[in-house]
Amino acid sequence: MCGIVGYVGPRQATPILVGGLRRLEYRGYDSAGLAVLDPRTGKLGISRSVGKLVELERALERQPLPGHVGIGHTRWATHGRPSEANAHPHSVNGVAVVHNGIFENYLELKRRLQAAGREFSSETDTEIVAHLIDEALGAGAPTLVEALRVALSQVVGAYALVVVSERHPDEIVAAKNASPLVIGLGNGEMFLASDVPAMLEHTRDVVFLEEGEVVELRAAGFKLSNLAGAPITRPSRRILWDAVQAEKNGYPHFMLKEIHEQPRAIADTLRGRLQPETSDVDLDGYELDPRSLRRVVLVACGTSFHAGLIGKFMIESLARVPCEVDLASEFRYRDPVIGPNDLLIAISQSGETADTLAAVKEARAHGCRVLAISNVVDSAIPRISEATVYTHAGPEIGVASTKCFTAQLAALALIAIHMGRRSGHLKAPEAARLITELAAIPARMTTALSALGDLKDVAARYRDARDFLFIGRGTSFPIALEGALKLKEISYIHAEGYAAGEMKHGPIALVDDGVPVVVLAPRGPHYDKIISNLVQVRARNGRVIAVGTEGDTQLADMAECVLWVPDVSPLMQPFLTVLPLQIMSYAIAVARGNDVDQPRNLAKSVTVE
């Protein structure tokens, strides 16, 4: 995710802003920039560079930005590729803005502003806000904060938005909705950032902004209010985390932080794409009509492959287009039968995985259409694909993929609904129901995460097991595979995922009182069958850990331990059933003293074969 910093006070802003951005480097970014108000000229100085912060520092050496009021940003591309023109700050007539988040209605606003004669110099959604604020100031808004309010009344979406203006040179104004923003209190100086680590070397006294709040920051202090202008008072908090804890937002590991970021990752991935008014999904303007397709082939590796297996269920059931799922490493060498009437969907959070990239090249060589799903804008796979549905999970630092997996599921659900509407199979009322259910998934995940807790007791019970089995049916089968992968990669316990119906064809021979068997048994069409499998495991003294739907009293009596998730329809269950497996794997790995974020022998991005 992008990083934001701001400073107003007696010191030179540039070194403080660059230092703050450096503290946010761990989050990943593709470009960076600063805007500082020069007190000698009253003008804004702006510097932006693609690549690492060192590039920005070189630019600042060539052209220093003196001044005591400034804002800075590291960008992780969402709208528009990484480039200097798309890097923040964006400025219009002496108003400069930096933004984290996504404005859903930016195209509509951009069209209106263009019709009014305004010109744009970037592909971003952010630039519209600089225009809206400039427009409001031009129309007589008496203060910068008033102009910000006028602009915010027109936008829909998520934002942490920070503004400086030549017309109001002693202040910074900012607003928050869904993306974090925190004020740092200094002595005669004030700081602002998207994350605490950015200002920890200057202050530990902070005030977190809440949803729909606006702040005016001057060297002497800050004024907090709501969108309607009513003042808000909130005492500051003292941050006791050290710098490393602060990077993890207080969590002990990035993996745990990322597990808890999933509701936000899904909400951001859905944002602006669900169209409840037309019971449809907008894939950022990309039109995918499945009536011209012979079939869909999903290719990916590891966790992304498991997302692909669930994508098959989604696309086949909603669009009725035949789907195959293949491991990219197999697909590239098996001389696949594909051609111009097939669509390859390549799923890769990094967008750089060598096998998936090679599979895309192979498909393209056969004239096959290619749609990518990736978390990294302009990475190698999107660059050679016809289009990309980006997940907006933000950078994932833990090697074990968690939030990128569920964000991929969200992208696949969007694609399936979009295709279903165009195939004619998915009628408007059912699409409307799915859209409503999908939009509610982030809240369901939040509920599930807080109800599950840390699962330390489960970890203490099972941490010494030598082998684990995970079994499921339907969409729970890929979740069984994903649960087993998560456990083995960070706890180093041998684990296998199986389709539950396969148990009697071999794996049941492994079951005894030393093998925990995780049975995915949410309520749904496969419930009775999976309960039969569970009973068979118990009959062989297997230790059953069940994942079940809240309120299922029958299940509570049948397992040694039950991990509960909220009730949702079968296609949506993977968003929730994977959560206890992620937390359990994490808790077991921690209990075994492993390096959770960087497990042995593994890399985050596998760019070699």
Binding region for ligand M6R (CB under 6 A): 301-304, 348-350, 353, 356, 399-401, 489, 602, 605-606
- The residue count for the chain: 609
Q: Which value, to the nearest 10 degrees, does the dihedral of the CA atoms of residues 186, 149, 100, 257 take? A: 70
Fill in the amino acid letter for 324. E
Q: Which position has the token pair 């470009």?
A: 31
How far apart CA 59 and CA 540 sit, in angstroms, is 68
Taking the complex as a whole, the smallest distance from the CB of residue 606 to ligand M6R amounts, in Å, to 5
Taking the complex as a whole, the smallest distance from the CB of residue 53 to ligand M6R amounts, in Å, to 24
Taking the complex as a whole, the smallest distance from the CB of residue 305 to ligand M6R amounts, in Å, to 7
Instruction: Report CA-CA distances (Å) from 157 to 76, 106, 160, 212, 561.
Output: 17, 9, 10, 11, 41
Taking the complex as a whole, the smallest distance from the CB of residue 261 to ligand M6R amounts, in Å, to 15
Taking the complex as a whole, the smallest distance from the CB of residue 586 to ligand M6R amounts, in Å, to 12
| Nearest to ligand M6R of 171, 489 (CB atom) | 489
Taking the complex as a whole, the smallest distance from the CB of residue 301 to ligand M6R amounts, in Å, to 4
| Nearest to ligand M6R of 299, 434 (CB atom) | 299
Indicate the residue whose CB is closest to ligand M6R. Answer: 302
Taking the complex as a whole, the smallest distance from the CB of residue 480 to ligand M6R amounts, in Å, to 15
Instruction: Report CA-CA distances (Å) from 341 to 296, 346, 389, 415, 417.
Output: 9, 16, 20, 18, 20
Taking the complex as a whole, the smallest distance from the CB of residue 357 to ligand M6R amounts, in Å, to 9
| Nearest to ligand M6R of 173, 414 (CB atom) | 414
Buried b (16+ CB within 10 A) or exposed e, 219-236: beebebbeeeeeeeeeee
The residue from 456, 488, 529, 604 that is catalytic is: 604
How far apart CA 473 and CA 62 sit, in angstroms, is 61
| Nearest to ligand M6R of 350, 533 (CB atom) | 350
157 DSSP β-pair partners: 103
Active site residue 404: no
| Nearest to ligand M6R of 239, 397 (CB atom) | 397
Q: What angle do CA 118, 124, 130 make, to 5 degrees?
A: 50
| Nearest to ligand M6R of 137, 301 (CB atom) | 301
Helix/strand/coil for 362 = helix
| Nearest to ligand M6R of 510, 606 (CB atom) | 606
Number of alpha carbons in the 13 Å side-chain half-sphere of residue 148? 32
How far apart CA 532 and CA 389 sit, in angstroms, is 39
Taking the complex as a whole, the smallest distance from the CB of residue 274 to ligand M6R amounts, in Å, to 24
Pairing of β 387-390 and β 190-193: unpaired
Asked if residue 499 lies in contact with residue 309, where contact means CB atoms within 8 angstroms, the answer is no
Reported in sequence order, the residue ranges of 233-339 that DSSP labels E, i.e. its strands, are 237-238, 274-275, 280-281, 295-300, 323-327
Nearest in space to 198 (alpha carbons), one of 397, 53, 47, 51? 53
Whether residue 15 has a cis bond before it, omega within 30° of 0: no
**String of DSSP letters for 301-317:** -HHHHHHHHHHHHHHHH
Active site residue 604: yes
| Nearest to ligand M6R of 31, 303 (CB atom) | 303
| Nearest to ligand M6R of 398, 472 (CB atom) | 398
Give the distance, in angstroms, between the CA of residue 466 and the centroid of all CA atoms in the same chain: 33
The residue from 2, 323, 368, 404 that is catalytic is: 2
Asked if residue 23 lies in contact with residue 243, where contact means CB atoms within 8 angstroms, the answer is yes
Catalytic (active-site) positions = 2, 604
